A and B are shown apart, each in its own frame.
Chain A
Amino acid sequence: AAENMPKKIGYVVNYATHEWYQNVIKGMKDRAAQLGIELEVKDANLDVAKQVAGAEDFMAQGVDVLIITPVNEEGVVPLLRRAKAENMPLVLEGNPVKGMTTMVAICDYDTGYHAGVAAGQYAKEHLGGVAKVMNVGLPLLSATVLRSNGFMDGIKTEIPEATLVHDLDGGGNPDRALEVSSAALAQNADVNIIYGINDNSSLGGLQAWKAAGKSQDGLLVVGTGGEGLAFINAMETEPSYKIEAAMFPEKVGFTAVDAAVKVFNGEAVPEHIVSPTTPMIGADWKKYYSVEGTTRSINWDAVNGVKPADKCMKTAADLK
């Protein structure tokens, strides 16, 4: 297909210093380089106002396509309107926004759900069919709420009497997760599964468990994201860390650039372009990633082989 290539793509990321987005950007850069496109990134650093400013600056600089990961999905509605008024093609990453053309995203609910199913199966085999869950969650974002909900729904398909003992706000960061989990475990330690909405959260929960002086026998820890090296290290060294719901950030970036090219050419695109996820159990991670020193490389063949769902089971719209 002799498509026209955009010369320059501008990406306003919500939080560039986070490992997840580091890897999204990595995937974007790889794909842009393959296609001969210049990619520029501006970081909103979790500041909604700065995000709008970043997009404005890109439009002033004259990029051909904008990709945006919203800090908050409601907060970019006027921005989309202004982009449309200036005929600026725009692709969203992560979350849907009123008035958008297309969005590239994983299915958060499905991700949690499949991890939940895997956790249920594991509990049946190794934990005597008991599932008492501590969710180290993040109510701040609809995406992370969907993951937690999916996880509980998934686990219940295997163990209907599974209970949610603690539903916590770990802030998505490790020290807060640790602190909150410690308090929760002190209140009630009758828990055998720790679920974290990202790797920081699951590890924070696990560290709280260890700090309380408990053995990891009979414990299962399930993380989400597979953002960097942390989960790999945990899966290699921590006996309880058995399941990781991998979300392949590099693949998300890769797909977003492809979508940007399509939108630039005015091609028809679905509203939601799904990027694949899958639970990795035990040593599965080695199929998708290899580690050398402190860098990990993605195995594109394996990842491209994971089939994305056509449609998410549940989305943010279902939460309201």
Chain B
Amino acid sequence: MSLVSDRSQIVLLGILALLCIAISLAAPQFYTGANVIAILRQCALVLIVATGMTMLLVAAEVDLSVGASLAFTGCVGMDVTNRTGSLVLGTLAALAFAGGVGLFNGLVVTRLKVNSLIATIATMMMLQGGVYLYTREAVQNLHQIRAFTELGAGYVGGLPIPVLIAALIFIAGFVALRFTTFGRYLYAVGANGKAARLSGLRAERLKLVAFLATGLLVGVAGLILASLMNAGQPTAGRGFELTVIAAVILGGTSLSGGRGTLVGTLLGVLVLKVIDNGIIILRWNQDLQMVVPGVVIILATWLDLVRRRRDAR
């Protein structure tokens, strides 16, 4: 509980506990190892990107292009690995590409001063178009390098590799945001950019770093997804950005900057994915996978609001 020191995640923890209890009462398979691992693996992709997105929102920016970039990155990574036969080069290419997208977003926002919501919608469109210019078909796994397959489907000590990667990234992100000057500066920039700049912080540079970090994390997620699907899929990632942002917001990160935690984000991701999984486990109509998260996001935000108002008394 010490991690949850500011009590802002109590509502989410409650919702998560309630969900888990309710689902497992109705369907005992919920708690099987296989299902827990399936849930964790699905959380992994979202959590990796959400770590970057949390940083961006804390700095009062947002990136809607992550879904489109995710798909593109997978294609690039697979294609370069195919062409060079080298997993290292493929990975580097994918990271370079996704990092480049993040950098581009960051430059457009910090240099050209375009609002990040609109700038990244535009980037999203360009990437969606661009990926089809790059490849019309899914890029197949022609190299059959084992390590590549392991990235998505392998296990270490009973835990899926994507989950381990996500955990490492989450911890690194948590430490960076919570304990380093970089993290503190991000909050400052998000809370009042001018004050931060007057205090000698390079506000634009910090935002740029957050965009770049998000881009690179999309690269990691894109590689894992390509490995999981055994192909670079230009059609993948539709709506992924909304899932990520929904999770971050659900975790209590403010859209106006300066407020939010990664622990909240983690809980947000878990809640959304448990709902998704529960609906399938319970064999409910899958269309509810849209309705229920919609209700939960509104409800959780409202409960958190009520709690904060009460605390303020």
Contacts and interface: CB of A to CB of B under 8 A. Distances in A.
A and B touch in the complex (CB under 8 A): yes
Interface centre among A179, A185, A188, A189 (most CB of B within 10 A): A179
A182 interface: yes
B34 interface: yes
B101 to A, nearest CB: 18
Nearest to B283: A187
Contact of B281 (A22, A168, A183, A211): A183
Contacts of B182: none
A200 B34 CA distance: 23
Contact of A186 (B38, B233, B234, B237): B38
Interface residues of B, number: 40
Contacts of A18: 235
Nearest to A209: B153
Interface stretch (B84-92, B106-114, B224-232, B299-307): B224-232
A183 B237 contact: no
Interface in A73-111: none
A233 B141 CA distance: 8
B256 interface: no
Interface string A14-32: 0001110010000000000
A110 B77 CA distance: 38
Contact of B229 (A207, A212, A229): A207
A189 B233 CA distance: 26
A180 interface: yes
A186 B230 contact: no
Interface string B121-161: 00000000000100011101110100000001101000010
A296 B96 CA distance: 30
B42 A175 contact: no
Given A180-B280, A185-B34, A17 B136 contact: yes
Q: Majority SS of interface residues in chain A?
A: helix
A241 B303 CA distance: 49
Interface in B232-251: 233-238, 240
B44 to A, nearest CB: 11
B235 A174 contact: yes
B29 A186 contact: yes
Contacts of A204: 229
B137 A228 contact: yes
B286 interface: yes
Interface string B12-37: 00000000000000010100101101
A175 B38 contact: no
Interface string A291-319: 00010000000000000000000000000
Given A182-B38, A183-B276, A173 B137 contact: no
B259 interface: no
Contact of A228 (B39, B138, B152, B230): B138
B34 A211 contact: no
Interface in A183-222: 183-189, 200, 203-204, 207, 210-213
Interface centre among A187, A230, A294 (most CB of B within 10 A): A187
Interface in B255-289: 276-277, 280-281, 286-287
Interface residues of A, number: 34
A182 B281 contact: no
A237 B132 CA distance: 25
B35 A186 contact: yes
A67 interface: no
Given A186-B34, A230-B231, A237-B144, A210 B153 contact: yes
Given A19-B136, A228-B138, A188 B235 contact: no
B250 to A, nearest CB: 18
Nearest to B140: A233
A213 B237 CA distance: 24
B207 interface: no
A155 interface: no
Contacts of B240: 175
Interface centre among B32, B140, B225, B237 (most CB of A within 10 A): B140
Interface centre among A178, A189, A213, A228 (most CB of B within 10 A): A178
A17 B235 CA distance: 9
A169 interface: yes
Contacts of B141: 233, 237
Contacts of B237: 175
Contact of B42 (A22, A182, A229): A182
B153 A19 contact: no
A175 B234 CA distance: 11
A210 B29 CA distance: 20
Contact of A207 (B29, B136, B230): B230
Given A185-B38, A207-B230, 13 more contacts: A174-B231, A175-B233, A179-B276, A183-B35, A183-B277, A186-B29, A186-B32, A187-B280, A207-B228, A210-B230, A211-B228, A212-B34, A229-B138
23 contacts: A17-B132, A19-B138, A22-B137, A168-B280, A174-B231, A175-B233, A175-B236, A183-B39, A183-B42, A183-B277, A187-B35, A187-B280, A187-B281, A200-B138, A207-B153, A210-B230, A211-B153, A212-B38, A229-B138, A229-B140, A230-B137, A230-B231, A233-B140
By Cβ-Cβ distance, the 5 closest A-B pairs, closest first, are A186-B35, A233-B140, A186-B38, A183-B280, A228-B137
